Chain A
Amino acid sequence: MKVKDFERIQERIYRYDHPSGLKAFVIPKKGYNKKYATFATYYGSVNNTFIIPGQKNETHVPDGIAHFLEHKLFEQEDGSVMDKFSKLGSEPNAYTSFTQTVYLFSCTDYFEENFRLLVDYVQHPYLTDESVEKEKGIIGQEIKMYEDNADWRVFFNLLDALYVNHPVKIDIAGTVDSISKITKETLLLCYNTFYHPSNMIILVVGDVEPQSVFKMVENGIRHKENPGKIESIFPDEPKHHNKRVVEKKLAVAMPQFQMGIKDNSNVFGYDLLKRKVAIEIILSMLMGRSSKLYNELYDEGLINQTFGSEVMLEGLYGFSAWGGQSNEPIKVYERINEMLEKTKKDGLDKESFARIKNAHEGRFIRSLNSPENISHSFIPLHFKGADYFDHAKVYEELTFSDTEEIFYSHFELEPALSVIWPVK
């Protein structure tokens, strides 16, 4: 068991490496009632082509299969595992993102029973042809719900504008058509490939005893032979964007837009975290609440409070995106591009850098109140070799000149634009 302290933010991480290759972490939250446990695999919607360890040929699976598998894992031979969690009063859940699938529960009592249940069911898929068919109805409705969701559509259309080939542009749940091709056999194939303990982590956030958690991990993880490297295949992605603009109509009151830019840096580890934080700070400097442009656009009625930005760096791909509602998204697009061009000439505003960096650190500290937030942020960074709590170190070390350098390398391309126009 290893212990790492992060004094600045008064947090501590305990770590245990299981012989199978699985890594387990405990982040104690003294005085919290809630215990939040996650069991995650580094496998998400983008892993649709891979080489099964020991084989030579590529395997390609239907879109949406990682998410489908997430749904089906809840089913066990003796019924739904959700019922067992419910009996213990805990709230089970799971989610699939581009690069990981996460199983979790949140409880206040019976932590050990809940935890054993989580560790056990994720390791025991129980699939039948009948139950796979039945799930297609439920997931079909989930897909339809997202079809009507403008926030979701505007985001995925942006990814379509950014990426020519990369599977990140494919909807996480797939389509009604693609999931119709999913079978018990393909699900098991994916499970056996990606749910090896060496590709997985366990994280518990809450007022728990690390030793006893790790003891349960030690006894609960079944030993499996290490299959060797799991290789996902990604198509070559050109450096440029796929399309300049993607437009669609939906039943919304006001146009919604997202702009974005692809990040071609392919960095991992601490460098990835540093780059992500730097781009977040840059976006605040350029178009955050205290920026000149945000306030001009707001005063002219071109944007409103829904305007916001995010940065996603996933190692092999990455992007930043920003947007909201606007009656004139094309005008906003042009104004932001003008500002970016001007900033490339003049450089970033040094005076605002320290203030905004300080504000970002404060917001980071505020976010540490929430076990959910810690878990959701910790897991994807861990899989990319970075430590979530190293945010504090980045805020301490990041200089203006680092940030300016990252600005020039990230904002090379002209941003792409996705717009949802109201019908009628």
Chain B
Amino acid sequence: MESVSAAKVYEKNGISFFHIKSEKFKTVRIDVFFIEPLNKEKASSNAIIPFVLKRGSESYPDQQKLAMRLEELYGAGLSANVMKKGENQIIHFNADFVSDQYTAGKTKLFDEIGNLVIEIITKPALENGSFNSNYFEQEKGNLIQRIKSRVNDKVHYSLLRCMEEMCKDELFAVYEDGDEESAKALTREKVYEDYAALLRESPVYVYISGIVSDSEIKTFVDKFDSIRRNNIKSIVVPNVKKDIPEVRRIEEPMDISQGKLCLGFRTQTEANSPDYYPLAIYNGILGGGVQSKLFQNVREKESMAYFAFSRLEKFKGLMVVCSGIDISNREKAEKVIAEQLTAIRNGDISDFEMDATKKTFETGIKSMQDSQGAMVDFFLSQHISNINENIDTFLERLLEVSKQDVVRISERITPDTVYFLTSLSEENS
């Protein structure tokens, strides 16, 4: 069986258009990504842009009118968000709607919604040549709250904080929505300038998923000609190599009942390196699922935790191990985690661990093709890091990894930072 591919259908003015053809879905998706180099000064400004744009456009000047329009279009979803891959900040617009076969032939949804997406991105509701000031101020307030609310999800927060501490002198430490101070300092005029620059200079990736005809795509693509483009920026390839003379220890007290222990490592491996594949297998054996050493030992054997996993930040070459534990178990947990890394380095990898990890990847990659959103994310990651593997060859590269490859990779996994989210006082635990 041949896997799904993302066929590049057009490329002009630094905008690449792909069609992910697959007929089994009931929906069509449009995804537009603007790729910006991560930058402390501009991160908050870029982050507010999609939220201000979603407040209203020329034809739908407020979000109530826009919401009504989406309801008329068979409950189409329109979302905007900001994310980070490596040292790139990505501004993402997405529309998700039912295929025409479910609209009783009443309307051509792709055409209608394609126009709407382009209008939202390029024709915001304006006031004196800049963004609507109410929308801007409200979204500024929301952005500041979003930044503050990072703390709400304790697992996610501890992972982010660990990576922030690891990279405190590198661009990667900048969050996808920037920081509170720069968010507070945002002005409407400056953000509008940054918005114009984003439209003009960012590399753009557009993915169309589902049943759409070539002529419909052509019409949609041509509408992007209205955007004036020049000085297209290049996509950042972050440095992943770093010597760590000494492991740093960070403790952050908070009013919580369960501690979160995060151990950050440098993988010293680029996303587009052939060594990425053994690294992925390494991470899987260590902490990527129920067959992994962390799950088997920290949870099943020691009953110390409900969850224990490791995760890669592929683009920046980071790996973080994370587990939720009793505050008093911190030392013991660190010891058990360290033992798992040592075991892999000593070649203590069973055939079961190797096979189960590979099969888990195989299942994951095949299953990914049952979700339009997951495929878009996969192809975007490939495209921005200039990796040519398609889904099939990507899987092949993973399956051909040997135990020796994993041991070889394990030798370069460098401990960097130990972060512990702890309770306010030892007595609380």
Q: Do B63 and A289 touch across chains, with their CB atoms under 8 A apart?
A: yes
Q: Do A366 and B77 touch across chains, with their CB atoms under 8 A apart?
A: yes
**Across the two chains, which residue of chain B brings its CB closest to A256?**
B152
| Interface bits A296-318 vs B (CB < 8 Å: 1, else 0) | 00110100110000000000000
Min CB–CB distance A391 → chain B (angstroms): 13
> Looking at the complex, which one of A136, A141, A289, A366 makes contact with B305 (CB distance below 8 Å)?
A141
Q: Which of B1-42 contact A (CB under 8 A)?
A: 22-27
Interface residue? B359 (CB, 8 A): yes
Q: Chain A contacts of B63 at CB under 8 A?
A: 289, 295, 298
With known contacts A362-B74, A368-B26, A148–B154 Cβ distance under 8 A: yes
Q: Do B356 and A86 touch across chains, with their CB atoms under 8 A apart?
A: yes
Q: Chain B contacts of A107 at CB under 8 A?
A: 363
Interface residue? B324 (CB, 8 A): yes
With known contacts A251-B255, A325-B145, A34–B366 Cβ distance under 8 A: yes
| Interface bits A350-368 vs B (CB < 8 Å: 1, else 0) | 0000011011111101101
Q: Chain B contacts of A10 at CB under 8 A?
A: 26, 101
Q: Do B363 and A91 touch across chains, with their CB atoms under 8 A apart?
A: yes
Partner-contacting stretch, out of A24-32, A45-53, A189-197 = A24-32
**Across the two chains, which residue of chain B brings its CB closest to A80?**
B300
Interface residue? B75 (CB, 8 A): yes
With known contacts A148-B258, A362-B97, A83–B352 Cβ distance under 8 A: yes
Q: Which of B69-108 contact A (CB under 8 A)?
A: 70-77, 96-98, 101-102
Min CB–CB distance A283 → chain B (angstroms): 14
Interface residue? A330 (CB, 8 A): no
Q: Chain B contacts of A423 at CB under 8 A?
A: 255
| Interface bits B133-177 vs A (CB < 8 Å: 1, else 0) | 010001001100100111111110000000000000000000000
Q: Do B74 and A359 touch across chains, with their CB atoms under 8 A apart?
A: yes
Interface residue? B405 (CB, 8 A): no
Min CB–CB distance B156 → chain A (angstroms): 11
Q: Chain A contacts of B145 at CB under 8 A?
A: 253-254, 304, 325
In the assembled complex, the Cα of A90 lies from the Cα of B26 at a distance in Å of: 26
> Looking at the complex, which one of B75, B134, B355 makes contact with A358 (CB distance below 8 Å)?
B75
| Interface bits B258-302 vs A (CB < 8 Å: 1, else 0) | 100000000000000000000000000000011100000001101
Q: Do A359 and B151 touch across chains, with their CB atoms under 8 A apart?
A: no
Min CB–CB distance A156 → chain B (angstroms): 15
In the assembled complex, the Cα of A108 lies from the Cα of B289 at a distance in Å of: 16
Interface residue? B382 (CB, 8 A): no
Q: Do A299 and B360 touch across chains, with their CB atoms under 8 A apart?
A: no
Interface residue? B325 (CB, 8 A): yes
With known contacts A88-B359, A144-B324, A361-B74, A34–B306 Cβ distance under 8 A: no
Min CB–CB distance A169 → chain B (angstroms): 20
Q: Which of A13-44 contact B (CB under 8 A)?
A: 29-34
Interface residue? A150 (CB, 8 A): yes
Q: Chain A contacts of B289 at CB under 8 A?
A: 86, 91
Q: Chain B contacts of A145 at CB under 8 A?
A: 154-155, 258, 306-307, 324
Interface residue? A271 (CB, 8 A): no
Min CB–CB distance B178 → chain A (angstroms): 16
Q: Do B26 and A369 touch across chains, with their CB atoms under 8 A apart?
A: yes
Q: How many A residues, CB 8 Å from partner?
A: 73
In the assembled complex, the Cα of A144 lies from the Cα of B423 at a distance in Å of: 12
Q: How many B residues, CB 8 Å from partner?
A: 70
Q: Do B102 and A365 touch across chains, with their CB atoms under 8 A apart?
A: yes
Interface residue? B386 (CB, 8 A): no
In the assembled complex, the Cα of A9 lies from the Cα of B102 at a distance in Å of: 7
Min CB–CB distance B392 → chain A (angstroms): 12
> Looking at the complex, which one of A31, A109, A249 makes contact with B23 (CB distance below 8 Å)?
A31
Q: Do B290 and A253 touch across chains, with their CB atoms under 8 A apart?
A: no
Min CB–CB distance A294 → chain B (angstroms): 8
Min CB–CB distance B51 → chain A (angstroms): 8
Q: Chain B contacts of A371 at CB under 8 A?
A: 370
Q: Chain A contacts of B138 at CB under 8 A?
A: 298-299, 301
Interface residue? B256 (CB, 8 A): yes
In the assembled complex, the Cα of A369 lies from the Cα of B70 at a distance in Å of: 20
Min CB–CB distance A306 → chain B (angstroms): 9
Q: Chain B contacts of A343 at CB under 8 A?
A: none
Q: Chain A contacts of B152 at CB under 8 A?
A: 150-151, 252-253, 256
Q: Do A304 and B255 touch across chains, with their CB atoms under 8 A apart?
A: no
Interface residue? A82 (CB, 8 A): yes
Q: Chain A contacts of B299 at CB under 8 A?
A: 138
In the assembled complex, the Cα of A298 lies from the Cα of B25 at a distance in Å of: 34
**Across the two chains, which residue of chain A brings its CB closest to B103?**
A362
Interface residue? B62 (CB, 8 A): yes
Q: Chain A contacts of B256 at CB under 8 A?
A: 148, 251
> Looking at the complex, which one of A34, A139, A359 makes contact with B75 (CB distance below 8 Å)?
A359
> Chain B residues in contact with chain A, CB under 8 A?
22-27, 62-64, 67-68, 70-77, 96-98, 101-102, 134, 138, 141-142, 145, 148-155, 254-258, 289-291, 299-300, 302-307, 324-326, 352, 355-356, 358-360, 362-363, 366-367, 369-372
New contact pairs (12) apart from A108-B366, A147-B258, A362-B73, CB-CB < 8 Å: A87-B355, A106-B363, A108-B363, A141-B306, A144-B257, A251-B256, A253-B145, A253-B150, A292-B64, A294-B64, A299-B134, A362-B98
* 11 pairs from A and B in contact (CB 8 Å cutoff): A85-B290, A89-B363, A91-B289, A107-B363, A141-B326, A148-B258, A251-B256, A253-B151, A365-B27, A366-B77, A369-B26
